[in-house]
Structures are given as structure tokens and as C-alpha cells.
Structure 1
Amino acid sequence: MITDCHLHSFAREATPGTGAYVPPARDIRDYTTEAAPLGVRRAVVVQASVDGTDNSRLVAVLGTQGPVALRGVAMIGADADLPALHAAGFRATRVQDRARLGDSALASLPELADRVAEVGWHIELNTEPRSFDRIAAMLPGLPAGVRLVLDHIGHVDPAAPDALCRLLDTGRVWVKLSPTRISTDIGRYADLTALIGRIGTGFPERLLWGSDWPHVMTPEPLPEIPPMLDLCRAALSREAFDRCMWDNPEALYGF
């Protein structure tokens, strides 16, 4: 059984684009039609950047019934009602910290960690190696129970994983093995086998996997889920694979 810890859901009706991309007209029903036959039984829907801090569409998604159990990751503003979002199925908030988006958003991390600690959430970081040392330096000042999750394998260079491993060595950081943003071999992912094998050997208790469906800002042909799962099966031990796909998400997202 599989847990997909990173996907997005939009609307089947085309909507005007207000962000960095035009949202594809694909929603959670399209996702479950594709993913459920592959053994996906649980999934984490991440608030899309184009929706900003208005989580209302994702609240509705989490309330739908279907073959895949759902949890959510919000983007929150100062007025967010965290207990209400928690009751709706959210278990984390997300921070965008990419160089292409401008100044680092990490300055808000301590305050944000204090807020989410009150509802037992973690923080997901869409970040990159330029920020790893800063994140490590901030960890001792964050509430002890707040964990950080790196999206997209931290956007690390597969040939230079040492900085990522040092961050994982802190014991406070988890990582999503979502391959499509860093691989140059989409569909086979042979360039990631050694990287994922090293992470899986060193940190099996803090691995997650996410498909990044429906692959916004990605050229055709769009990635498919089966080769990603094949990569994880080949690179991870059976025990690490099972932890990545089922046990670890259960512990982190409270399925």
C-alpha cells in the first residue's frame, strides 16, 4: 500500500491564472482515478501557490469521499484559524523559499513554528541547498516537537548530496523523495538511484514519497507515477520502502 505525500488539486473547469502558471483543469477525482489502481490508498494534498493563503478549495477537497484517504498542507496568513483547519484534515503548513521567488522566507520560520506547534503540525519547506546551513542554525530555537519536511528532495544536485545529509543528520528534518524537479532522466530516474539509496540507508525513518501530480510548470510528456515507484523500490531496501510509503506518512500526517 502506498501513500503519496505531495500532490495538488485544482478545478475541472478552467480558471484564470493569477500566479506563476495556469492551473491545469484536473482535480482530486482525476488523481484518484489514476492513482488508486496503483495501490495508492492515502494522499497529502498541498495548497497550490496560485491559491495563496485562501485554503477554502482545499478544505472542500479534503471533505470529499473516495478510495484514497486525504490529509492537507495549508499556506496560512496571520488570521488563519489553525484549529478549524486541523479539524478539516490539515497537518502542516508550507513555506516557499526558492531563490527565483525573491528574498528568503525563512525569517518567519520561528514565529510560524510557534504557531503550528499549538496544533501539532509540521512545516514543509520548498527550499534549496543555499538555505540548508541557515535552516540547521535555526533548528535549536524551534519548538522541540515541530518537524521540518523538505519538498522535492530539497532541490539538491544528485551528485552533491553532502549538504542535504548534514541537514538530515540533525534528526529534525524529513525529506520527500519527489524526483521530477531534480532528475534529468524523467521516466527512468537512473541519475537518482545512488542519492535515494544513500538517503534511504541513513534516514529510513524520515523518508516520504510524493508524485507532485499533476506536474505544473513541467514540459510534456508529463511524468507518470509507476516509474517513480519503481525507482524507490530499486533504490530502497524493502523495509525502507515500506516505511517511506506507509509507516512514516502515518506518523507524520496522522492517518
Structure 2
Amino acid sequence: MTVELDIASLANALQEAAAVEILPRFRNLGEGDVRIKTEAIDLVTEADEAAERLIRDRVAEFMPDALFVGEESVAADPSLLTRLGKVDLAVVVDPIDGTFNFAAGLPLFGVMLSVVSKGETVAGLIYDPMGNDWVIAEKGSGAWMCSADGSQSQMSVVPAPELSQMVGIANTGYFEGDVRRRLLNNLADVRLFTSYRCAAHEYRIFCGGHMHFLMYNKLMPWDHLAGTLISQEAGAYAARLDGSPYLPHHVDGGLLLAANEETWELLREKIFTV
């Protein structure tokens, strides 16, 4: 099956959802517009749900045969997630990545979409509503920053310096007990690590050459499929923490991205051995 993608229409759908459903609610959420999903740091807002409905409707217009897998749709019907690796074509959407930031009034959130064909990610888009720009990749075509003025520039990760000078993202919140303590202790050997609570912007920064590694433990497809493909198209090496490839149906096993395989191996050996 050859997938012919209308990237412009996909990008427009994300932009429309932001303009119509997300930005009007930013710093304007009512008391009942924010709800806890699984814990106090896992939130959903009226903007998430409304934006996902709009994107789903737009995708149905030009990709009617695609399975739509949205973060909020899966919350309502978990069986959608089990079908992702089996169908011919799927569109995976995070309507607001960084909901915690969005609900707190922090302008650090994004809209993410990926296209999966026969168990392989073939396209990824990350839209920044505040900057009105996208990072986009189709498999085999490189990673591109598409600015609001229509200009495009190719993105590339940067080679890492020595371990003691590396800067990156390390999301340790979903590791348990002694593993988490060991990782936090190991991370003292890099120059700086942080988490923006927004994978959309973490991937954008990495692909733009401003960080040297990304590490995650919890792997939900809407959080990582688009960013991983874009990173690989920007030259990065990505794999789960056991060294196996990261695939759309994976929801655990951790994920580590670095500028190249040599740096990836160094980071896993010195920092991220779990």
C-alpha cells in the first residue's frame, strides 16, 4: 500500500483546531473546564476534547479510511490503542500536548499528529499555536521547520559534547523507587537535565540542535510517534532502552534519543541503564 499524504491539509487541521478551540480558551478556562484524568498532574480540558473533535472531523474528510487514534478518544475507548499496529492506515493525534502547562496558563504546549501505515510511522507534525509554526517530517524526506511566513528550513540535530557537558531532557517521573533514584544519581554526570512537561517542544528543541538527548519512560503513541520520526529525519538515533526499535504499538520499554548511535550507547551505559 502506497500512502499519499496531504501534509498541507493535515497541517491546516492542526492550525484550525488551535485557532478555533485552543487559543480562545488559553488563560480563559472556567472552573469546570479542567478535570483530573488519572492523577493530579494528568489533566484534560474542554480545549483538548473540542480540538480533538475538530481534527478528527477534518481528517475524516480527506483520509476517510484511516483509523483515528486520539488521546481523548482512547481515554473513552482503550481498544483503539490495540488496533494501531494492525490497521493499514491510522492517524494519531495529541490535541494539546502539555495540558498541564496549558491549564496553568504557561505558553508551552503543542498539537501533534502522526500517520502510521502498516505499523510504521510515515509522517509527523508538531504545531506550536503560540508561534504559529510547524516542524514536519515525512519518512525519507528530512525534517523541516515551516514558519508562519511560509519559509522552510531543514532541521538537524547537533553532535554531542563530552558527557559532562551534555544538556537534555530526562523524564524520570514514571520510574519507580530504586530505579528512579539510580537514574537521578547518574544524571549528576551530565551538565543539565530537565523536563518541560511538553514533549512537543522538547522534540522541537532537540531537532533544532539545542539539546543533546531526550529520555522518556511512559510511551503513549500520541506523545512520541511524531517527535521520534522527526528526530530520526533530523539525523538522530532512537531506540527503546533495551536497544530495540521503537514502534507505534509500544507503550512501555522507555525511549532514548541522541545525535548518533555512539552517543546513544554512551548515555545508556553511563546514565540510563535501568
The higher relative CO (CA closer than 8 Å, separation ≥ 6) is in 1
TM-score for the superposition, normalised by structure 1: 0.29
Structure showing greater radius of gyration is 2
Structure whose residues are more often helix by fraction: 1
**Higher percent of residues as strand:** 2
